[in-house]
Structure 1
Amino acid sequence: MTTGRGVGPTDAAGGPTRHFPVMLPEVLAHLAPKDAALYVDGTFGAGGYTGAILNAADCRVIAFDRDPTAITGGAELVAASGGRLTLVQDRFSELGNVVEQMGLAPLDGVVLDIGVSSMQLDQAERGFSFRRDGPLDMRMADTGPSAADLVADLEETELAHIIWTLGEERFSRQIARAIVTARTENPITRTLQLADIVAKVVWAKPGEVHPATRTFQALRIAVNEELKELVGALAAAERVLKPGGRLVVVTFHSLEDRIVKNFLSHRSKAPSASRHMPQAEGPAPSFRLVAKGMVEASSDEVAGNPRSRSAKLRAAERTDAPAHPDGDLAGLLPADLSQRRGRRR
């Protein structure tokens, strides 16, 4: 991954850019690669983090990406790695199952860079960008419903809920109503077509983010089930990291960062006790925080790579306590992310 896969909301509009790994020095400092160790890069992208980890130590990396173009593009790095890099085309929520099936668990580290890559944004045919005309797709892989399918099939109330919950868009109801009205006249199948519909509802002052920013973010997250994937990846990392293994996560908007923050906060706190109940109940902490709070990109990096300005890094080290039960993970997600497909009204 040579961009930082995830980007801030306003970057969904950007033009073609060079692909810089976001917060690379900070990622390496918190991951602390060692010789003879095994790491997972859950978001390979163009191989930026993976290449840097391989260069930092005589270690091995298993890199995941659900995007087949990323896997194909990584062939040269695989060839140059001398057998130290394995690419896996799969969702990063499956990282635990995959490394266990390969007989390679436990791991020394897991790094996750959450969101869409700038490479995907820069390809109009992928349908992520609202500044380039292309098919309204937004799928990171080749399977499942596209953004055009959601826009065509969801009921107005569910469409508004997705835009509000996943895009944090305060005009979600008006946007959903405009979409439903527009699709009765013509199918909404192009990115600029949808962007124009939203722009007629949401007015932006000069210098503000594009009116369609949050709507496109919401649809992309819904199409790819990104928040569910993140929760699944955090739980998988907890399960397969060895004691002392590091988890490093870079996020790019508040929904993702809130999930990571709450997960690590819960997993790093001991069960509470009091003088009335001195024997605390509950699982022991499975992580120890390495980064106290979030780490942000340096001012120099932001100046050279504006896409890093919204990046937040959180890191923790696995303890020797057992992984916590998965029953509390659903509480990390915004309410009602069932992703059911509504009927068209």
Structure 2
Amino acid sequence: MGEHAYAHVPVLAGRVTALLVPALTGPGPDGGPPVLVDATLGRAGHARALLEACPGLLLIGIDADESAIEAGRALAAEYPGQVTLAHAFYDQIGAIVARAGHRRVQGVLFDLGVSSPQLDDTSRGFSYAQDAPLDMRMDQTASKTAERVVNDYPVSELARVLAEYGEERFARRIAEAVARERAREPVASTLRLSAIVKDAIPAPARRTGGNPAKRTFQALRIEVNDELGALRRALPAALDLLSPGGRFVALAYHSLEDRLVKRELAARTADPAPPGLPVRADDPLPGTAPRFRLLTRGAERPSEAELAANPRSASARLRAAERIREAA
């Protein structure tokens, strides 16, 4: 792991801390210390800020990337007895919290997508800008790689992945171009795939929107790691873990992730009372009041100052909510 891993700047760290700290000060509902789950530990930038801001806080850090767990061990050494680590995808959040001995938690943080150190480590194959093996596994013990997807998927399935997860309008053309190339020789490197994608996209479309391979690489990464499937499973489990007063914060970096977060929070904050039912706001009928309230209006975006300090925050969308009552 290079020095860049430790220089990683967490996205919207000040705002994330401000949103979560109110739920993480004082004792938890059982009288013990408050518990925060960082479901995407990464290089522990957000986790470190919250441990500094909340003395006595217990942190459960989850990450599928073993190098992130290594960084977490350094944090655990700084905060003995306060940090529990789990090498797993975040859809295991319920089981991980239970194994740590907790029934409820007071904070949950998701910082979704690929981390800066993963992008910066060219050997991981996440970047289309530098040559590397087509890997893209967040969990390097997993068997499915981007090379396997690119070379083994039928054209129709590869096109579906590119269209659905990359929102790529030239998905079929790219899939057919990949199939022609892999018939000659397996596509094994990031730069070769990037060149295939570029050649498959009409020249006028290549002139706008940044690197033409960006959407293809995003789609392959999501497919390799089942990111959207894991997020669909993780969001309800995470929200169910929160005790009243507990807070949830999610940072998403593309519309597919953000849409899933938005829908889940909308469902949790909606009024379940039948339309037209006369109910006093200060005395709702059992089961007819929302259990969560939104802490953000829409998706918050980085400020100019944040963008200047951390250009990689440009695509970030932040949403947050607080549990205000138990389920009926």
TM-score by length of 2: 0.89
Q: Aligned equivalents of 1:233 and 1:144: distance in 2?
A: 22
1:185: Cα distance to partner? 0.3
SS at match of 2:109: strand
* C-alpha contact 1:23 1:297 (8 A) present in aligned 2: yes
Aligned equivalent of 1:140, options 134, 138, 141: 138
Partner of 1:25: 14
Q: Aligned equivalents of 1:95 and 1:117: distance in 2?
A: 19
Partner of 2:212: 211
Task: Give CA deviations for 1:295-331 in whole Å, capped at 9, x if unaligned.
Answer: 11111111221111110110001132329xxxxxxxx
Aligned equivalent of 1:37, options 9, 34, 49: 34
What 5-or-longer segments of structure 1 have no aligned partner?
1-14, 324-345
Partner of 2:301: 296
Aligned counterparts, 1:136-215, within 5 A: 136-142=134-140, 143-202=142-201, 203=203, 208-215=209-216
Change (3 A) 1:284 1:93: farther
1:114: Cα distance to partner? 0.4
* C-alpha contact 2:291 2:324 (8 A) present in aligned 1: yes
Aligned counterparts, 1:325-336, within 5 A: none
Task: Give CA deviations for 1:40-59 in whole Å, capped at 9, x if unaligned.
Answer: 00111111011001000111
SS at match of 1:134: coil
Q: Aligned equivalents of 1:217 and 1:61: distance in 2?
A: 30
SS at match of 1:200: helix
Task: Give CA deviations for 1:96-153 in whole Å, capped at 9, x if unaligned.
Answer: 1111122212100000000001111111111111111111010000213101111111
Q: Aligned equivalents of 1:83 and 1:92: distance in 2?
A: 22
Is 1:54 matched with 2:54? no
Partner of 1:8: none
Q: Aligned equivalents of 1:120 and 1:95: distance in 2?
A: 22
* C-alpha contact 2:287 2:327 (8 A) present in aligned 1: no
Is 1:309 matched with 2:305? no
* C-alpha contact 2:298 2:319 (8 A) present in aligned 1: yes
Change (3 A) 1:274 1:122: closer
1:264: Cα distance to partner? 0.4
SS at match of 2:184: coil
Partner of 1:269: 270
Is 1:127 matched with 2:116? no
Q: Aligned equivalents of 1:177 and 1:77: distance in 2?
A: 47
Q: Counterpart amino acid of 2:46?
A: Y
* C-alpha contact 2:166 2:218 (8 A) present in aligned 1: yes
SS at match of 2:67: helix
Task: Give CA deviations for 1:71-112 in whole Å, capped at 9, x if unaligned.
Answer: 112222110112211111111111111111222121000000
Q: Aligned equivalents of 2:59 and 2:6: distance in 1?
A: 26
Partner of 1:90: 88
Is 1:242 matched with 2:280? no
Q: Percent identity?
A: 43
Q: Aligned equivalents of 2:182 and 2:287: distance in 1?
A: 51
Change (3 A) 1:262 1:282: farther
Q: Aligned equivalents of 1:284 and 1:321: distance in 2?
A: 10
Aligned equivalent of 2:110, options 89, 107, 112: 112
Q: Matched residue pairs, number? A: 308
Q: Aligned equivalents of 2:273 and 2:246: distance in 1?
A: 25
Q: Counterpart amino acid of 1:107?
A: V
Query: Segments of 4+ in structure 1 off by > 6 A?
Result: 277-283
* C-alpha contact 2:165 2:219 (8 A) present in aligned 1: yes
What 5-or-longer segments of structure 2 have no aligned partner?
27-32, 280-284
Q: Counterpart amino acid of 1:40?
A: V
Query: Could you say which structure has the greater relative contact order, defined with CA pairs below 8 angstroms and 6 or more residues apart?
Result: 1
Q: Aligned equivalents of 2:5 and 2:112: distance in 1?
A: 20
Task: Give CA deviations for 1:234-288 in whole Å, capped at 9, x if unaligned.
Answer: 111122111111000000111111111111011110125234x779998753321
Q: Aligned equivalents of 2:301 and 2:168: distance in 1?
A: 24
1:17: Cα distance to partner? 10
Partner of 1:318: 323
Q: Counterpart amino acid of 2:324?
A: T
